[in-house]
Amino acid sequence: MTTTTQTRPEQDLPTTPFHKLGGHPVMQAIVNRFYDLMDSDPAYAELRAMHAPDLAPMRASLASFLAAWAGGPRDWFEQNQGKCMMSVHKNFTISRDVAGQWADAMRRAIADVAPADAQLATAMGGVLEDMALGMARS
Protein backbone atom coordinates (compact mmCIF):
# COMPACT_ATOMS: atom_id res chain seq x y z
CA MET A 1 0.00 0.00 0.00
CA THR A 2 1.28 3.44 -0.81
CA THR A 3 0.65 6.28 1.60
CA THR A 4 1.00 9.88 0.62
CA THR A 5 1.43 12.81 2.93
CA GLN A 6 -1.42 15.22 2.53
CA THR A 7 -0.20 18.63 1.48
CA ARG A 8 -1.65 21.93 2.60
CA PRO A 9 -2.06 24.79 0.12
CA GLU A 10 0.51 27.00 1.87
CA GLN A 11 3.21 24.39 1.21
CA ASP A 12 2.90 25.12 -2.49
CA LEU A 13 3.36 28.84 -2.06
CA PRO A 14 6.86 30.13 -2.78
CA THR A 15 6.38 32.69 0.00
CA THR A 16 7.15 30.42 2.95
CA PRO A 17 10.57 30.65 4.62
CA PHE A 18 11.09 27.04 3.47
CA HIS A 19 10.77 28.05 -0.18
CA LYS A 20 12.56 31.38 0.17
CA LEU A 21 15.56 29.67 1.71
CA GLY A 22 15.81 27.09 -1.06
CA GLY A 23 13.67 24.15 0.03
CA HIS A 24 14.91 20.71 1.02
CA PRO A 25 18.40 20.90 -0.54
CA VAL A 26 19.24 23.97 1.57
CA MET A 27 17.66 22.55 4.76
CA GLN A 28 19.64 19.33 4.30
CA ALA A 29 22.86 21.24 3.55
CA ILE A 30 22.47 23.32 6.74
CA VAL A 31 21.79 20.21 8.82
CA ASN A 32 24.72 18.29 7.30
CA ARG A 33 27.07 21.20 8.01
CA PHE A 34 25.64 21.49 11.54
CA TYR A 35 26.38 17.83 12.37
CA ASP A 36 29.77 17.95 10.61
CA LEU A 37 30.72 20.88 12.87
CA MET A 38 29.30 19.14 15.95
CA ASP A 39 31.24 16.01 15.07
CA SER A 40 34.59 17.72 14.42
CA ASP A 41 34.94 20.89 16.51
CA PRO A 42 36.03 20.26 20.13
CA ALA A 43 34.00 23.34 21.13
CA TYR A 44 30.89 21.15 20.71
CA ALA A 45 32.27 18.04 22.45
CA GLU A 46 29.72 18.12 25.28
CA LEU A 47 26.83 18.49 22.83
CA ARG A 48 28.26 15.72 20.61
CA ALA A 49 28.58 13.35 23.56
CA MET A 50 24.82 13.60 24.21
CA HIS A 51 24.08 12.20 20.73
CA ALA A 52 24.31 8.63 19.47
CA PRO A 53 27.52 7.66 17.65
CA ASP A 54 25.64 7.43 14.34
CA LEU A 55 24.34 10.89 13.38
CA ALA A 56 22.65 9.69 10.17
CA PRO A 57 19.16 9.44 11.75
CA MET A 58 19.57 12.96 13.18
CA ARG A 59 20.63 14.33 9.79
CA ALA A 60 17.35 13.06 8.35
CA SER A 61 15.14 13.99 11.30
CA LEU A 62 16.39 17.55 11.89
CA ALA A 63 16.26 18.40 8.16
CA SER A 64 12.70 17.10 8.01
CA PHE A 65 11.74 19.04 11.15
CA LEU A 66 13.26 22.30 9.89
CA ALA A 67 11.45 21.90 6.56
CA ALA A 68 8.09 21.51 8.32
CA TRP A 69 8.84 24.22 10.87
CA ALA A 70 9.72 26.67 8.07
CA GLY A 71 6.41 26.09 6.28
CA GLY A 72 7.36 23.20 3.97
CA PRO A 73 6.04 19.63 3.81
CA ARG A 74 4.67 18.47 7.17
CA ASP A 75 6.20 14.97 7.05
CA TRP A 76 8.05 15.31 10.39
CA PHE A 77 4.85 16.20 12.25
CA GLU A 78 2.91 13.44 10.46
CA GLN A 79 5.56 10.92 11.49
CA ASN A 80 5.89 12.27 15.05
CA GLN A 81 2.29 12.88 15.98
CA GLY A 82 1.81 14.39 19.41
CA LYS A 83 5.47 15.37 19.70
CA CYS A 84 6.83 18.88 19.94
CA MET A 85 10.48 19.93 20.19
CA MET A 86 10.20 20.51 23.92
CA SER A 87 8.71 17.05 24.55
CA VAL A 88 11.40 15.44 22.34
CA HIS A 89 14.05 16.92 24.64
CA LYS A 90 12.33 16.60 28.01
CA ASN A 91 14.48 13.65 29.11
CA PHE A 92 17.76 15.42 28.40
CA THR A 93 19.37 17.67 30.98
CA ILE A 94 20.36 20.63 28.83
CA SER A 95 22.57 23.31 30.36
CA ARG A 96 22.69 26.85 29.06
CA ASP A 97 26.25 26.16 27.94
CA VAL A 98 25.25 23.17 25.80
CA ALA A 99 22.25 25.04 24.41
CA GLY A 100 24.71 27.77 23.43
CA GLN A 101 26.86 25.16 21.66
CA TRP A 102 23.82 24.02 19.68
CA ALA A 103 22.90 27.58 18.71
CA ASP A 104 26.48 28.48 17.81
CA ALA A 105 26.96 25.42 15.57
CA MET A 106 23.61 26.12 13.89
CA ARG A 107 24.44 29.78 13.29
CA ARG A 108 27.79 28.77 11.76
CA ALA A 109 26.15 26.11 9.60
CA ILE A 110 23.61 28.60 8.26
CA ALA A 111 26.39 31.13 7.53
CA ASP A 112 28.52 28.49 5.76
CA VAL A 113 25.65 27.31 3.56
CA ALA A 114 24.75 30.96 2.92
CA PRO A 115 21.18 30.73 1.57
CA ALA A 116 20.40 33.39 -1.05
CA ASP A 117 18.01 35.22 1.29
CA ALA A 118 20.71 36.19 3.80
CA GLN A 119 18.43 38.29 5.98
CA LEU A 120 15.90 35.49 6.39
CA ALA A 121 18.68 32.96 7.00
CA THR A 122 20.13 35.12 9.79
CA ALA A 123 16.67 35.56 11.29
CA MET A 124 16.18 31.78 11.23
CA GLY A 125 19.43 31.36 13.17
CA GLY A 126 18.17 33.83 15.76
CA VAL A 127 14.85 32.07 16.26
CA LEU A 128 16.55 28.68 16.50
CA GLU A 129 18.91 30.11 19.12
CA ASP A 130 15.89 31.26 21.15
CA MET A 131 14.39 27.77 20.82
CA ALA A 132 17.63 26.10 21.93
CA LEU A 133 18.09 28.43 24.91
CA GLY A 134 14.46 27.79 25.85
CA MET A 135 15.37 24.11 26.33
CA ALA A 136 18.08 24.92 28.88
CA ARG A 137 17.24 24.06 32.46
CA SER A 138 20.43 24.96 34.29
Give pairs for 107-114: CB < 8 Å, separation 24+. 108/33, 108/37, 109/30, 109/31, 109/33, 109/34, 109/37, 110/30, 112/33, 113/26, 113/29, 113/30, 113/33
Q: CB 117 → ligand HEM: shortest distance, Å?
A: 19
Q: CB 12 → ligand HEM: shortest distance, Å?
A: 24
Please identify, using beta-carbon distances, which residue of 12 and 95 lies nearer to ligand HEM. 95
Please identify, using beta-carbon distances, which residue of 19 and 76 lies nearer to ligand HEM. 76
Q: CB 137 → ligand HEM: shortest distance, Å?
A: 10
- What's the rounded Cα separation, in Å, for the pair 33 and 43? 15
The separation between CA 97 and the C-alpha centre of its own chain, rounded to angstroms, equals 18
Please identify, using beta-carbon distances, which residue of 1 and 49 lies nearer to ligand HEM. 49
**Residues in contact with ligand HEM by the rule CB under 6 A:** 47, 50-52, 58, 61-62, 65, 85, 88-89, 92, 94, 98-99, 102, 128, 131-132, 135
**Helix (H) or strand (E) segment spanning residue 99:** helix 96-113
Please identify, using beta-carbon distances, which residue of 1 and 58 lies nearer to ligand HEM. 58
